[in-house]
Each structure stands twice: as C-alpha cells, then as structure tokens.
Copies of this chain bind each other. A is one copy, B any other.
Amino acid sequence: MSTIILRGNIIHTPTRERFVCIPGGYLVTVDNEIRGVYEELPEAYRSLPVLDYGDQLIIPGLCDMHVHAPQFVYRGLGLDLQLMDWLDRYAFPTEARFADPAYARIYYEAFADAMAKNGTTRAVVFGTLHAEATEILMEELEKKRIAAYVGKINMDTLSPDYLCETPKQSLADTERWILKTKEAYRLVKPAITPRFIPTCSSEVLEGLGRLRETYDLPVHSHLSEDLGEMQIVRERYPEYDNDSDVYDRFGLFTDHTVMAHFIYPTEHELDLVARRGVTIAHCPQSNGNVAAGIPPIRRMLDKGIKVGLGSDVAGGYSLCMLRAMSEAVYLSKLQWLKSEKQDAALSIPEAFYLGTKGGGQFFGKVGSFEPGYELDALVIDDGSLGVAADHLTLEERIERVMHLADDRNLTARYVAGERA
C-alpha cells in the first residue's frame, strides 16, 4: 500500500457555500484514496513519513473543462477580430498544420508543459481532426501527468476545404482512434468531440452518438456560444429552436457530457441540461474576448446544473485556472448589473468550487479532499503576494492566490495519487 501524508494549510470546498480550512492539517491518502483531513495525525499513521509544506497552502488540483490544444500556438493573437475572421486567420490555418506529426509533437509538448506549470491536474481537451496528432497530444499529456479526456474532433461541413473530412472518413477515423487509445494510457482517455453543430452533418452526429454508446465515452463540445452559430443550427434543424435538443436527439447529452459556454439558454434548455446531468464549462476570459456575451451562471447553479471552469485557449489566452476563477467572479458582477441585481454575483468560495470540485466531478471523485476522493493537489507558496500571511485568514490567503498567483507560486503538484 502506498500512503502519502501531506502537511500544510489545507483548503477545499466540499460544498460551494464556503471554504473548509484546516491550518497546519494533515491530508492522508492511501493508494490514491483520500482517508481524511486531520488537525492531528491519527495514531495509525504516526510511523510514516510526512511531507511537511510548512506555512504553504494545499488545495485540490485545478480542472480545465474546455481547452483547444492546437490553438495554444497562437494564444493572445487577433483578439480584436470578429469570431469568423479570427477562425479564418488563426484557428483554421494553425489547426491544419497539425497534419504534420513533427509539428504536433513540438507544440503539444509545449502545451502540456505549460498546463502542468499552471497547476492544472485535469482537463477536457480539443485536438484537431487529425487522429495521429491527437494521439501525440494524448502521449504528451500523459507524460506531463495531466489526467485528461481528449478529442480527435469532427468537422465535415461548413469547414475550410483544407480542414474538412467526409462523413465516412470522419467516423471511421474516429472509431479507429478510439480503439487504439481507449486503453493506451493511465491518465488520458478519448472523448467524442464534434467541433460544434455547424461543422458536423447529421450523419456524423448520428454516427458519433452510436460510437458514444458502443464505447461508453464522454462527450465534449460547444453549446449556444454565439448568436450567429445558433442561427445556423436553427436553420438546419427547424424542428428545434435551440442547440440542446439537437445534441440530445443524437444521444450526445448524457451525464458524462461537458458543453462549453451556454450563453443564451432558453428555459427549456436549462431544464434539459439539468435533467440529463450535462456539465457546463464556463470560460469567462473567452466570453469577453470573442464578444460572445455573459452566461447566466447563477441561474444554472440555481437549477442544479453542474458547472466547471475552462480556459478555452485560444478564445482565452491564459491557461491559468486560478485566473479563470477570479475572472468568473468579475464577469458575474457584470451579470449582476445586467440582470438588474437579480443574478447574485459568484462568491469567492463558489468560484473556487467551480474550478476544483465543479469540474472535478466529471472525472469521478475528484476536486475535493473528502474521504474516498482521489489525490489531486497543489502546494502554493503565497509569500510573494503582499502583506505578511500571519495577518490574514486562510480564506483571505486563498482569495489573494486566486487573483494574484501565477506559476511561480506553485511548488508541488499531485495527480491521481502521485507527485507529478
């Protein structure tokens, strides 16, 4: 049996209402199953070595629920363009280069490395339509110990000629890739990943629904991000007035589906997403960057919808999920104003919950330090962030970390029960 005992200022959010803080506490894990958090180390463990992180903070690992790995190459570029111009100038030409495995190796290694440095322990990741490059992405994530669901994406219509599949090829490539990768890695698994409804024919969506069922896979895509995108969906499926019913019809709306954005939900869609147990990946940096709008996160939470956070690189430019928490609070305040103070802003513990347990639940018992959970953890040295820590509560220190910390403050990362 492998036992890990971490000591430090332990902070987590078993519920989104408040932080649970254990100053100088002990976090005990046996074979990647957390036994508990203790103020005093129980007798049974006293003969074992303790990894003592002193006055540093120990928090659950960060979960990035929506990120485009190939777009990492050109993050931070073209952010004053309109969405379609930006896709044509940056996204599509860059993605096309991933036909070359050597190119993919270089940039996917850099991507996985940056993600690890930023403290992400779990991620749901878009690749490109290229199966070989997507395998390389999976290898690089496994090497850097990012536990991830990764997608070879599908796009067979409304896509540029140089980045488009036939429906048959799309489905055949996807199935071959699933068979090759579904048991190939310890931490990384395939996910069904239609780019979004506009770039997928009904034939492909139907085929993906079958593959999902056959291989019992998670699903990852975009939902109601942009009024232009939604208009295309309305015209193609006039029998529905929303994106959600289309995904649902093809069997892609399950309790293991994660959908990015959901900015313009109808009441019917909120109910359907809640009922099916779909997780929403909220990407606050991207929502403003691509001028998409502000999603009603409070209304989703009130409906009982599961919500996590995503970087959405390169609609977002930063991979830092602490920053996503901070920006989720920021954007929720603008939503509070926009809703004439009806939609309460997110609290600091709520944003922390979204970036840890809110996303983590998609991976099983992940994102919290409750008994039975996997050990995903970060150790954070906040000594550089301002007034001396001994004047602050742990709740204040973790808030300051959310707003101000960067990769320099992360001193250790544990993923799925191992030091990463």
B79 touches A348 (CB 8 A): yes
A291 and B400 form a contact (CB under 8 A): no
CB contact between A79 and one of B80, B285, B290, B329 (< 8 Å): that residue: B329
Cβ contact within 8 Å between A403 and B79: yes
User: Distance (Å) between the CB of A339 and the closest chain B CB?
Assistant: 12
Determine if B291 and A337 form an interchain contact, defined as CB atoms under 8 angstroms apart.
yes
- Asked whether, in the complex, the Cβ of B294 is within 8 Å of the Cβ of A333, the reply is no
Question: How many copies of this kind of chain does the complex include?
Answer: 2
Partner of A404, one of B317, B331, B333, B337: B317
Chain B residue, CB-CB nearest to A316:
B403
Known: A318-B404, A330-B288. A348 touches B76 (CB 8 A): no
Given contacts A318-B404, A334-B334, A404-B318, is CB(A76)–CB(B291) below 8 Å?
Answer: no
Q: Does A44 contact B (CB under 8 A)?
A: no
From the candidates B74, B76, B329, B392, name the one contacting A80 in the complex (CB within 8 A).
B329
Given contacts A73-B387, A386-B72, A387-B74, contact A334 B294 (CB under 8 A): yes
Number of interface residues of A (CB under 8 A): 44
Chain B residues near A75 (CB-CB < 8 A)? 386, 400, 403-404
Q: Is the CB of B403 within 8 A of A80?
A: no
Determine whether A346 belongs to the interface, using a CB cutoff of 8 Å to chain B.
yes
A386 touching B288 by the CB < 8 A rule?
Answer: no
Bound-complex Cα distance A279 to B345 (A): 31
Residues in B with CB closer than 8 Å to A285 are 330
Among B107, B400, B406, contact of A406 (Cβ-Cβ < 8 Å) = B406
- A347 interface residue, CB < 8 Å from B? yes
Residues from chain B with a CB closer than 8 A to the CB of A403 are 75-76, 79, 317-318
Q: How many angstroms between the C-alpha atoms of A336 and B80 in the bound complex?
A: 12
How would residues 317 to 340 of chain A score, 1 for a CB under 8 Å from any chain B CB and 0 otherwise? Answer: 110000000100111011011100
Q: Decide yes or no whether A232 CB sits under 8 A from chain B.
A: no
Cβ of A289 within 8 Å of any chain B Cβ, yes or no, is: yes
Check if A399 sits within 8 Å of B79, measured CB to CB: yes
A72-103 near B? 1/0 per residue, CB < 8 Å: 11111111100000000000000000000000
Give the CA-CA distance A242 to B388 in the complex, in Å: 41
Across the interface, which residues of B come within 8 angstroms of A345, CB to CB?
Answer: 80, 291
- Determine the chain B residues whose CB is within 8 A of the CB of A31 once the complex forms: none
Collect the chain B residues with CB atoms within 8 Å of residue A329's CB: 79-80
The residues of A with any CB-CB pair to B shorter than 8 Å are 72-80, 107, 110, 285, 288-291, 293-294, 317-318, 326, 329-331, 333-334, 336-338, 345-348, 385-387, 392, 396, 399-400, 402-404, 406
Extra contacts besides A73-B387, A76-B404, A78-B396 (20): CB < 8 Å: A73-B386, A75-B386, A75-B404, A76-B385, A76-B386, A76-B399, A76-B400, A77-B392, A79-B326, A79-B348, A80-B347, A80-B399, A107-B387, A288-B334, A289-B330, A291-B334, A291-B336, A293-B337, A317-B403, A338-B338
